[in-house]
Amino acid sequence: MTMIFAKPSMRTRVFCETRFYLFGGHAIYLGPDDIQMDKREETRDVARVLSRYNDIIMARVFAHQDILDLAKYATVPVINGMTDYNHPCQIIADALTIIERVGQLEGTKVVYIGDGKNIVHSWLLLAILEMETTYYIATRISRKVDPLSIILLNLL
């Protein structure tokens, strides 16, 4: 597995490297100085090259379009480690922790206080799938709130 870390994270790196090793794999770390998609190399070329050498690509990037392009051009699975739009791995971990502690996600109340970007978007996407859970989100509203998030909130 190649791990692209345009946005470094100790926890994500240690988790991914450790888990992949425990499953018999080897993880290769590419940090911000090693790879600069769309600056030194086009994202589609990065996806194609890494697909030839790896079974999985995990990317923690700034621009959501980068993860979409990686997934479009890669011939191997691409894991979204985080983007400026969403953070699905974190929400999966949060949901599994709730299930571990409470026994189920259905019927629980989830309260999130924090940044109104990628975590909120991910919780809202999960909320669409899991309608029997009540979500409370407290965040500072700014002009940068994603229009899709507003639509999703109105659907809930």
Question: What would the 3-class secondary structure string for 85-126 be?
Answer: CCCHHHHHHHHHHHHHHHCCCCCCEEEEECCCCHHHHHHHHH
pLDDT (tens digit per residue) in 74-87 = 999 999 999 999 99
Q: Looking at the structure, give the CATH architecture of the domain made up of residues 2-82.
A: 3-Layer(aba) Sandwich (3.40)
Predicted local distance difference test score (pLDDT) of residue 76:
99
- Contact in structure between 73 and 38 (CB atoms under 8 Å): no
Q: What angle do CA 120, 7, 135 make, to 5 degrees?
A: 10
156 pLDDT exceeds 90? no
| Average pLDDT value for residue range 19-33 | 94
Are the beta carbons of 87 and 32 closer than 8 angstroms? no
Which residues 6+ apart lie within 8 Å of 49 measured at CB? Answer: none
Q: How confident is the model at residue 14 (pLDDT cuts 50, 70, 90)?
A: very high
From the CA atom positions of the chain, what is the Rg in Å? 17
> Pseudo-torsion of CA 90, 91, 93, 98, nearest 10°?
140
CATH 3.40.50.1370 range(s) for the chain read 2-82
pLDDT band with cut points at 50, 70 and 90 for residue 61: very high
Backbone angles phi, psi at 74, to 5 degrees: -75, 150
- Scan for tokens 């994603």, then name that residue: 146
pTM of the model as a whole: 0.85
pLDDT exceeds 70 at position 153? no
Element (H, E) at 139: none
Distance of alpha carbon 32 from alpha carbon 3, whole angstroms: 11
CA dihedral 12, 57, 92, 36 (to 10 degrees): 60
Q: What tens digit of pLDDT does each residue of 76-122 get?
A: 999 999 999 999 999 999 999 999 999 998 889 889 888 878 888 88
